[in-house]
């Protein structure tokens, strides 16, 4: 097992092993003060036999029926995994076990002041929108509510590195796009998308530009506030213009903004997604895509207010993965919002569809190649040489 250590990064003290090469930092920690990234357990080596699908049973919030007091299906993530197992796509030992993000991991983005505020149950009750949390002692809030969210956050960070190594990765949870470095909200207590990008910028050579494609029904004001003045990150956001959060300040960070009306249906939606994903990738040419694949765009969702069919969601995910593949950019998908009982089945169907189409293929997943872009370049130059010799 290879785990990142401060001594192996930065300061010219580079290891010669090829597995280490892939995760050496391009630069010291973004502050420019020259300090090295901290030691983390989230960038450990993953066996090549594993799918780059990240999950842990710890994702699911179950405690004295607490989860039933929120419109959120707090067991959605486990159900997705069960469907994928039933379809024989995956097995327990073939998926990547998510690890909980530590306080030091979270401090890469969050302020200590914000993390300290989460030690107050009433703050967590407000952020998660589960009022009874207010009456729980904080040690239970930490264990039963925040630990699952921290594990999903660790999962997104891990999936960031896996996406670079394998060409794609899916965190079955995560996508807390309303949380920024110093403010949570809308069920989002940790800024997992910002964290995954900052980890990559700090630790992975060759990753200096990211594009966020946020297709959850809500505006992603958390990552928008975090990357407001950061030109390395290009944000495309497609959302219902009339619902939470309506964050006018955060909208200034969006490079490609697509605001939808109540009840938008498949044809208009898919056409807009396809056009703007293509436009965004042509404009930004990133080293990684972070795809926030919220399913609260589904018809009948009480919070999303849009009218997309299950098949429309499957087609949407397909369009984004196709664009990533045709531009040869690694993609990290997180599942984000989506609160109905049928949501888990739709997410599983979408992953199966991506697999059936070869957009997430086992061959690349188990490839020894550390960087799919390099592998593709090699394949293409071999093809070119073959053509030349035939002429």
Question: CB-wise, 203 or 218, nearer to Zn ion?
Answer: 218
Compute φ and ψ for 355, nearest 5 degrees: -70, -45
Does the N-terminal peptide bond of residue 366 adopt cis geometry, omega within 30 degrees of 0? no
Query: Would you put residue 86 in left (φ > 0), alpha (ψ -120 to 50) or beta?
Result: alpha
CB of 177 to Zn ion, least distance (A): 8
> Strand 96-97 to strand 168-171: parallel, antiparallel, or no bridges (unpaired)?
unpaired
CB of 149 to Zn ion, least distance (A): 15
CB of 294 to Zn ion, least distance (A): 5
Which DSSP state fits 17?
Answer: -
Q: From residue 183, give the alpha-carbon distance in Å to each of 115, 123, 137, 153, 249.
A: 10, 10, 22, 16, 14
CB of 218 to Zn ion, least distance (A): 4
Question: CB-wise, 184 or 337, nearer to Zn ion?
Answer: 337
CB of 128 to Zn ion, least distance (A): 14
Question: CB-wise, 8 or 216, nearer to Zn ion?
Answer: 216
Marked catalytic residue, from 110, 177, 178, 276: 178
359: how many CB neighbours lie within 10 A of its CB?
17
Question: CB-wise, 206 or 246, nearer to Zn ion?
Answer: 246
Identify how many contiguous H helices and E strands the chain contains and give both numbers.
Answer: 15, 8
| Residue ranges in contact with Zn ion by CB under 5 A | 216-218, 294, 296, 337
Question: CB-wise, 176 or 199, nearer to Zn ion?
Answer: 176
Respond yes or no: is residue 38 known to be catalytic: no
| CA 126 to chain CA centroid, nearest Å | 24
Residue number, nearest CB to Zn ion = 337
> At a CB cut-off of 8 Å and minimum separation 6, what does 388 contact?
none
79: how many CB neighbours lie within 10 A of its CB?
18
- Which residues are designated catalytic? 178
């Amino acid at each position: 097992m290879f785990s990142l250590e401060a001594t192996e990064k930065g300061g010219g003290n580079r290891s010669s092993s090829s597995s280490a090469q892939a995760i050496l930092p391009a630069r010291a920690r973004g502050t420019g003060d020259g300090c090295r990234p901290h030691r983390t357990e989230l960038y450990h080596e993953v066996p090549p036999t594993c799918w780059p699908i990240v999950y842990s049973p710890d994702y699911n919030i179950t405690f004295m029926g607490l989860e039933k007091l929120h419109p959120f299906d707090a067991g959605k993530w486990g159900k997705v995994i069960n469907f994928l197992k039933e379809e024989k796509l995956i097995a327990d030992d073939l998926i990547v076990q998510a690890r909980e993000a530590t306080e030091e991991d979270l401090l890469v983005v969050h302020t200590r002041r914000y993390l300290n505020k989460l030690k107050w149950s009433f703050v967590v009750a407000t952020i998660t929108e589960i009022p009874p949390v207010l009456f729980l002692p904080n040690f239970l809030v930490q264990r039963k509510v925040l630990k699952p969210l921290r594990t999903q956050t660790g999962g997104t960070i891990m999936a960031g590195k896996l996406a670079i190594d394998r060409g794609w990765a899916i965190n079955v949870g995560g996508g807390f796009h309303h949380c920024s470095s110093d403010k949570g909200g809308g069920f989002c207590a940790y800024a997992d998308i910002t964290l995954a990008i900052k980890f990559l910028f700090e630790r992975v050579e060759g990753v200096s530009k990211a594009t966020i494609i946020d297709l959850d029904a809500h505006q992603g004001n958390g990552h928008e506030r975090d990357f407001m003045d950061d030109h390395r990150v290009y944000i495309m956001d497609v959302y219902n213009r009339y619902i939470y959060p309506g964050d006018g300040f955060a909208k200034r960070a969006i490079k490609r903004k697509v605001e939808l009306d109540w009840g938008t249906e498949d044809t208009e939606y898919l056409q807009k997604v396809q056009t703007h994903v293509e436009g965004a990738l042509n404009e930004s040419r990133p080293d990684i895509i972070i795809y926030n694949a919220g399913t609260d765009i589904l018809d009948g969702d009480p919070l999303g207010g849009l009218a997309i069919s299950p098949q429309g969601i499957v087609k949407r995910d397909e369009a984004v993965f196709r664009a990533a593949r045709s531009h040869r950019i690694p993609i990290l998908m997180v599942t984000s919002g989506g609160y109905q009982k049928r949501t888990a089945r739709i997410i599983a169907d979408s992953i199966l569809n991506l697999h059936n189409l070869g957009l997430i293929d086992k061959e690349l997943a188990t490839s020894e190649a550390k960087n799919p872009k390099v592998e593709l370049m090699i394949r293409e130059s071999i093809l070119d040489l073959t053509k030349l010799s035939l002429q």
